[in-house]
Structure 1
Amino acid sequence: MSEIFDNTVPSPCIAYCCVDDQQICQGCFRSLAEIAAWSAADRQTRLTIVENAKRRADDAQAL
């Protein structure tokens, strides 16, 4: 059974919402699709979203 509304994975949102041309939030580094999916995402999906956001944040700092 899927874990709907799993709050054990905290949202990476930092309340700085500014979306770039690639539709990535420059505050939390999630895509708009990931942000929209977050509230209904199960634990594994949320972990994947957080991993993707961390990778994007790391890539942005490397520039």
Structure 2
Amino acid sequence: MFLEQLKAFLAKVKGNSNLQQKLKAANSPEDVVGIAKEHGYEFTANKLSQLSKDELEGVAGGN
């Protein structure tokens, strides 16, 4: 469930420049979780923090 919620949130972020700016200003995983929650997505900072950079890029679709 965590990865599905994260993927859905990241898909929304890709098409929303305002949301992208909010995430760029985030200072912690907790900030990211709070922003996601405002938009109806549920995951924890603990789970987000456990992802490696490579795993996070994979979920985000890579660059």
TM tier, smaller: 0.3 to 0.5
Q: TM-score, normalised by structure 2?
A: 0.35
Q: TM-score, normalised by structure 1?
A: 0.35
Larger radius of gyration: 1
